Structure 1
Amino acid sequence: MISIVKDLAAEALFVSTIQPSDCPNTTTVEQAVTAMILLHGSDGCAAEVATEFGDHPDCAVRRMNWVHEELTGVVAPTSVLT
C-alpha cells in the first residue's frame, strides 16, 4: 500500500509546476501533491507523466529523479513503537 501512495505522490509532484530551483519545503511539496491529485486524479497524473516520458524522455528522467529525492521523508512510513 505504501508503494502505491509513493507512486501516486511522485506522479503528482512530477506534473506540478514546482521546479528544483524553487527549493520547496515539505509543506509546499505536500500542497502541490494534493493539488495535482485533486486536479488530475490518479489516472490523469499517470497519463501526464507518460506523455512527458514519451515527448521528453531525457528531461523526464531527470525530473523524476528529483521528484523521488524531494519525496524522501515526505512520503515515508512512520515506525510504530510497541
Structure 2
Amino acid sequence: MTARRPLITAVVAGTVLSALWFVPTADATPEPAAPRSVQEAPGAVLADTGGVDTTPYVIGGLAFVTAGGALVTTAVRASRRPGAHSAP
C-alpha cells in the first residue's frame, strides 16, 4: 500500500497541472473599441466601476490554502503516530 501512495500523488498532481494548462490566461492589454451601434446615443458613456471584482479569486485562494494546510496537518499527524515508520 505504501508503494502506491507516491504514484497516486504523482498522478493527481499531473492531472491537476494538465487541467490548469487549459485555463485561459488574463490579457492586460485593452481590447479595441467596438463600433457604435445605431441605437446608441452620441453622448452615452458607460460607468467606470473602478476595478475588477476580485472576491471570487480571494475566496478560491483561501479555500485552496485551507485545503493544503489540512493536508499538511494530516500528513504530519500521521507521520508522528507510533508505528508509522515500521517496515512491513
Give 1 or 2 for the bigger CA radius of gyration. 2
TM-score (norm 2): 0.28
TM-score (norm 1): 0.29
